[in-house]
A = this chain, B = another copy of it.
Amino acid sequence: MRITADRINPDELRNELVDAAAGAYVGFEGWIRNHNEGEQVLRLEYEVYEPLALAEGAKVIAEAVEKFPLLHAECVHRSGALDIGECAVWVGVTSAHRDEAFAACRFIIDQVKVRLPIWKKEHYVDGHSGWVNCERCAEHGHTHPEAVSS
Residues of A at under 8 Å CB distance from B?
10-11, 14, 18, 20-35, 84-85, 94, 96, 98, 101-102, 105-106, 109
Contacts and interface: CB of A to CB of B under 8 A. Distances in A.
Nearest to A87: B25
Given A25-B29, A98-B106, A98-B109, 6 more contacts: A10-B11, A23-B33, A26-B28, A33-B96, A102-B102, A102-B105
Copies of this chain assembled into the complex: 2
Interface of A is mostly: mixed
Contacts of A10: 11, 14
Nearest to A25: B29
List the 9 closest pairs (A to B, CB-CB), nearest first.
A11-B11, A23-B33, A25-B29, A20-B34, A27-B27, A20-B84, A22-B31, A26-B28, A102-B106
